Structure 1
Amino acid sequence: MAKPPPSAAASAAGVRGQGPHRTRLLLLLLVAVAASASTAGYLLRGALVPPCDAQRDPVVLAAPASPLGFMRSKIVLLVSHELSLSGGPLLLMELAFLLRQVGSQVVWITNQQPEGTNDASYSLEHKMLNHGVQILPARGQEAIDTALKADLVILNTAVAGKWLDAVLKDHVPQVLPKILWWIHEMRGHYFKLEYVKHLPLVAGAMIDSHTTAEYWKTRTHDRLNIQMPQTYVVHLGNSEELMEVAEDNVARRVLREHIRESLGVRSEDLIFAVINSVSRGKGQDLFLQAFYQSLKLIQHQKLKVPKMHAVVVGSDMNAQTKFETQLREFVAKNGIHDHVHFVNRTLVVPPYLAAIDVLVQNSQARGECFGRITIEAMAFKLPVLGTAAGGTTEIILDGTTGLLHPAGKEGVMPLAKNIVRLASHVEQRISMGNRGYARVKERFMEHHMADRIAVVLKEVLQKSRQHSHS
């Protein structure tokens, strides 16, 4: 497997510069897209630094007015249940880099290391080392000593709770008062006492949406008979690097043309896309069913719309899981292979956001805890068709920045009708996209997230100090 390339988002930083500089960076974007197609493919959002900045100390680049400035010289231990290209670890890495930018000493521990050689984890570890993040083994005296001397310990995801008893053992009571538990899960199988039995005793819990926070409060009480600690809701924000690409018209146009050409899609055609790892919980099957129904509705109503395409970004061409096989069989059975495109998991998401016209966020059951791809799409002025579940309801303003539909099979026809609505009303697509972009600028930027996290960290540090002096 080829070594993963820098992300398109990061490579585009500074694209607004002089002509030759812009051209060079656009070429890097396109090379990154091409190179990612030859890897196992990764869904990685957030900023990978450009090669020229790889060896620079992030502290030197720090903005003096960062709301996290009070974390300078603080020792922060980050414990992740895994190191992968899923949302939780990537989000924790973003926080690690924000803390490094203000001069925090950041130490990273991965509780469950993959067996054998893993290019994804190798690439992510290399990225962290380039940012000055220290990486320690999950077990051993050094891990214990670091936890004891750290000013703050952040556990990432519910599953990371297993690390406490497995490693700290008798030292757990000393560390609990300075733990902030960052929770992203919405699935019921994470509510196991073996994971979260220490949750009531930590300094605080940080959760990505109000819906998820309420779910955890109710579920822990009713199922586990434990109480949540002080809980903080922190909505996420788009990285500055992604916004650089989203706000550069030339970059977007070049990427749009390149991706559409690679898919065999004309410039005037319409693309509705799901950008997520392919799994039943992400709802690609129901999306394709809705898309098929939308084609039938358009034909039945004799509507004149551009040719429509459904793009599923997040496939695993190597694994060919049973679920993905079922998706392809559905496409073949209904004769819509000219309309449906499967794209391998890719390191660079922004090019696909530049290429599509509407994002479909179709996560099922309780939905997404937050759903980062939704605000990323809104940054590209895309309307979003989302399930009325989870954190999506706190992002999308129904009828204003997008349209909501029910989760489950009952949502197939409403989604189909919403697809037809946006396909046949270009002015609605544009106005919803513009309003979504305005909402991102107002609420979902990186500096908004940093402000919100800073409030939480200040309170947690204060609680920890009070406990140590008591």
Structure 2
Amino acid sequence: MAKPSGAWIAMQKRRWPLLILLLISLSTALVLITRFASDSCNPSTVSSNSGGSRLAGETALGDARRSPSPLEFMKSKLVLLVSHELSLSGGPLLLMELAFLLRGVGSEVVWITNQKPTEPDDVIYSLEHKMLDHGVQVLSAKGQTAVDIALKADLVVLNTAVAGKWLDAVLKDNVPSVLPKILWWIHEMRGHYFKVEYVKHLPYVAGAMIDSHTTAEYWKTRTQERLGIKMPKTYVVHLGNSNELMEVAENNVAKRVLRQHVRESFGVRNEDLLFAIINSVSRGKGQDLFLRAFYESLQLIQEKKLQVPSMHAMIVGSDLNAQTKFETELRNFVAEKKIQDRVHFVNKTLQVAPYLASIDVLVQNSQARGECFGRITIEAMAFQLPVLGTAAGGTTEIVVHGSTGWLHPAGKEGVTPLAKNIIKLATQKETRLTMGKKGYERVKEQFLEHHMAQRIALVLEEVLQNARRQKQS
């Protein structure tokens, strides 16, 4: 089956944000009209949960957004954010989100990217201009201006372990003056990040912020055993979904139209089952093992003559312009097993909502120690999708096994369990729906933007207080 061209994908990426905005505007207008009519006829129905739980949920979310931000104390504070790169990967995007939250309460925010390609890059250009549009200053990583900002800043956030190289390379003799006001936000789980040149200053910063308890424990143990250094005070901060994503996730009209749009573009019918993995394509994310499990599930269904809807798999996170050796392996496997009509590759994108709206199950198949947290997992749960995840890393702190999804082992030993879980969800529609609803409830309880803002606010407040005390002493 022919796949959409890179130009087609690019066109759709430009169209989807507009489509989403149009749908949200239309749906919101309809809700307001309906609510006004309901209020006029029966004012008591406004606070009633019977027959209006959807509207009640929207109202509660709206109230949360209108309430004062817990980050208000950051107003007028100068914050320097240092990222090792600017890309569509999790770390930089999370730091950008923090930048926008801080700008929203009146902080002065400056962004530095430590590693940038020598050639012009469309992604970097786009992301930098998105920050500029939000009032975030974007500066060169090197030079006296960067040093001056670091010395003057109330808070410096280093994003990822690799960003630690920036300290000695740029600040040089000024490093000791800046360390007491550094919050180090760490997202890595892989062992090759544990190098002295990256993290030698880690024990002396104001604090470390890590996205999961599993990752925090791993860093504490690994730094002490391998490098002989102690972690600073470490804060575990679970992430939350953005308000913008929740607006789409809770808009049934938008979801329905996006589902139809995406599925039609790939020749997937509404009644077909679509399993997806949404991560940058790399061996550590486990797309190869997911495809093996998907193929094995098709074989088992055929052998056992099970009655299930037609099943498809989607890999979101490819690079259609520069296919890696690993992605070539994936495509070769699909061709070898003759499942080209069932497997669909999608270019990497910031716009994940259309794909979450179009699928039935998310597979979070990160390998080895798993994800530090895995933002896409809570995003999928917001769309009321069950999650099939590896029993590793922060995924175990998000997915409740047997309730919001099922966990399977990482590595090759997880292929057959994942295949069996795929079959269980394919044959048990009620289980899919129940798990999806429970996942959504869990998101509403713990993983919204205001939850994350509250958790980060507690950390920033303490770090700033400690920095002031050290400055006075």
Identify whether the pair has TM-score above 0.5, normalized to the shorter chain. Answer: yes
Does the 8 Å contact 2:24/2:248 carry over to 1?
no
1:233-272 to 2 correspondences below 5 Å:
233-272=236-275
With over 3 angstroms needed to count, the CA separation of the structure-2 counterparts of 1:215 and 1:6, relative to structure 1, is farther
**Counterpart of 2:390?**
387
Distance 1:97 1:457 in 2: 15
Amino acid aligned to 2:109? V
Distance 1:317 1:289 in 2: 22
Residue 115 of structure 1: CA displacement? 1.3
Higher helix share: 2
Distance 1:127 1:317 in 2: 23
Residue 68 in 1 paired to residue 71 in 2? yes
User: Percent sequence identity over matched residues?
Assistant: 74
Unaligned runs of 5+ in 2: 1-6, 31-64
With over 3 angstroms needed to count, the CA separation of the structure-2 counterparts of 1:8 and 1:438, relative to structure 1, is farther
Distance 1:407 1:201 in 2: 35
Does the 8 Å contact 1:147/1:153 carry over to 2?
yes
With over 3 angstroms needed to count, the CA separation of the structure-2 counterparts of 1:447 and 1:64, relative to structure 1, is closer
Which of 410, 418, 435 lines up with 1:415 in the alignment?
418
How many pairs does the alignment contain?
Answer: 431
Residue 203 in 1 paired to residue 219 in 2? no
Amino acid aligned to 2:123? A
Q: 1:359 is paired with a residue of what secondary structure?
A: strand
Q: What is the Cα-based RMSD across aligned positions, in Å?
A: 1.8
Residue 321 in 1 paired to residue 324 in 2? yes
**Counterpart of 2:468?**
465
1:38-437 to 2 correspondences below 5 Å:
65-437=68-440
Q: 1:82 is paired with a residue of what secondary structure?
A: coil
With over 3 angstroms needed to count, the CA separation of the structure-2 counterparts of 1:388 and 1:334, relative to structure 1, is same
With over 3 angstroms needed to count, the CA separation of the structure-2 counterparts of 1:4 and 1:147, relative to structure 1, is farther
With over 3 angstroms needed to count, the CA separation of the structure-2 counterparts of 1:70 and 1:6, relative to structure 1, is farther
Residue 17 of structure 1: CA displacement? 3.9
Does the 8 Å contact 2:208/2:233 carry over to 1?
yes
> 4+ residue runs of structure 1 moved beyond 6 angstroms?
1-4, 19-22
Residue 11 of structure 1: CA displacement? 6.7
With over 3 angstroms needed to count, the CA separation of the structure-2 counterparts of 1:317 and 1:19, relative to structure 1, is closer
Amino acid aligned to 1:181? W
Distance 2:423 2:272 in 1: 14
Residue 15 of structure 1: CA displacement? 4.4
Amino acid aligned to 2:302? Q
Residue 340 of structure 1: CA displacement? 1.2
Residue 12 of structure 1: CA displacement? 3.5
Give the TM-score of the pair, scaled to structure 1.
0.89
Give the TM-score of the pair, scaled to structure 2.
0.88
**Which segment drifts farther, 111-120 or 433-442?**
111-120
Distance 1:21 1:113 in 2: 44
Distance 1:421 1:70 in 2: 49
Amino acid aligned to 1:176? L
Amino acid aligned to 1:69? E
Amino acid aligned to 2:196? L
